Amino acid sequence: MKTYLVGGAVRDQLLNLEVVDRDWVVVGSTPEEMVKLGYKPVGKDFPVFIKPQSGEEYALARTERKTAKGYQGFAFNTSPVITLEDDLARRDLTINAIAQASNGDIIDPFNGQADLQAGILRHVSDAFIEDPVRILRVARFAARFNFQIADDTQELMKTMVDNGEVDSLVAERVWGEFHKALKTDQPWLFISVLRDCGALEKILPEIDVLFGIPQRKEYHPEIDTGIHTLMVIEQAAKISKEPMVRFAALLHDLGKAKTPADKWPAHNAHEQLGVPVIKALCDRLRVPSKFRDLASVISEYHLHMHRLNELKDSTILKMLEATGSLRNAERALHFAQVCEADARGRTGLENRHYPQTQQFQQLVEAANSVNSGEIAKKAGSGQEIKEAITRARVQAIKQVRKTFSK
């Protein structure tokens, strides 16, 4: 029985990155022997064990055989005669098919170290084509490391789209990889990679359809809404590390695909049209409600934010209430950040001054400074209290806006 550190832990170690999770492969053992040695079995599809002392996963070396479409359509062999190289050969990319022995020696039968140095994402074998989740993983690794995809790997990904393998992806796996990609330094590359291989149309058709829809003439007509969307999420990634902010940035213009072609590019026709599209996308992928809610208010109110100084005081209050910004300081911040990213998501405007971000925070503070309790003591009925609080908040907003031009 021998154990080897494998996969992402070895890869990140070679890249001088922090190792978060350490996974191990066990060669030459059986489930019975692992249990006798004190390991706790947790695997359902194949034998995986937890070492109580460290809490780390130890999986028996295995091979796999495709039995049906989808990522679950595999039969596994975990015989003690399976070698380390057999196990590494079933992995997705060469950079993830590297192992380290207990004495520190690196075992690299598929030249993963060379691909790490060259910044290349390359499949280990043609078995790559059997698991559609690998398309998502390649896109995520491209976003995380800013690596290029090998030409033959790109062709395999296109084949997986053409043969319908990608259609078997389930919501949990799509959102799981999507969410991880949103945390990377280049989340827009996740979308670009999926589009290049044709998978975006299958996985996120609401995003794919934006490519080809024109922007307003004053908003750089040389780029379409799809390119603008990628630029917005790039700006969002610079402004905030919060995945919710980046997700909302990606979905902010979905309503444009629902705007009649004769109204392209409409001034604000797409704002409310995007909300049901966002809800449908989030329902399909089982996206957490907090992501859906922020994306929805961004879709509906981001143009309000851009025209903040043109709005009536009462309209601003309605926007603060509708976006949830009065109740939740974090929501107010996230809302402003996505709107700023949208304003900067255009060629030559990446560093533009966007005073609305600070102004919005001041307006929130002003409206929240109203003492509702004191007003309630003086007012009569519930409706009178509500109207009095509204008047006081509008007045507070009016006063703070007078300072914006100074």
Q: What is the pLDDT of residues 126-163, one digit of tens each?
A: 989 989 999 999 999 999 999 999 999 999 999 999 99
DSSP lists the bridge partners of residue 78 as: none
Phi, psi of 237 (to 5 degrees): -65, -30
Let me know: does 108 contact 98? Beta carbons within 8 Å: yes
Is pLDDT larger for residue 5 or for residue 267? 5
Residue 109 has φ and ψ, to the nearest 5°, of: -70, -15
pLDDT, position 220: 58
This prediction's pTM: 0.90
Give residue 214's pLDDT. 80
Q: What is the mean pLDDT of the chain?
A: 91
Q: Domains in the chain, start-ordered, CATH in brackets?
A: 2-118 (3.30.460.10), 204-401 (no CATH)
Which residue's entry shows tokens 């800013």?
146
- Displacement of CA 5 from its chain's centroid (Å): 28
Q: Helix 313-322 and helix 356-368: axis angle, to 10°?
A: 90
pLDDT at 266: 52
In this prediction, residue 319 has a pLDDT band, given cuts at 50, 70 and 90, of very high
Confirm if 107 and 100 have CB atoms less than 8 A apart. yes
Q: For strand 57-60 and strand 23-27, is the pairing parallel, antiparallel, or unpaired?
A: parallel
Q: Which residues contact 124 (CB under 8 A, 6 or more apart)?
A: 88, 89, 90, 91, 92, 93, 94, 97, 110
**Segment 64-70 mean pLDDT:** 61
Only one residue has tokens 């057999």, namely 86
Q: What is the pLDDT of residues 188-234, one digit of tens each?
A: 999 999 999 999 999 999 999 999 888 765 555 567 899 999 999 99
The rounded distance, in Å, linking the Cα atoms of 164 and 70 is 10
Identity of the amino acid at 214: P
Token reading at 253: 């213009």
| Backbone φ and ψ of 173, nearest 5° | -70, -40
88 near 60, Cβ under 8 Å? no
Q: What percent of the chain is predicted at pLDDT more than 70?
A: 92
* Minimum mean pLDDT range among 74-88, 188-202, 262-276: 262-276
Residue, of 223 and 109, whose pLDDT is higher: 109
- List, in order, residues 6 or more apart from 244 with CB less than 8 Å away: 290, 291, 294, 334
- CA dihedral (321, 324, 328, 332) positive or negative: negative
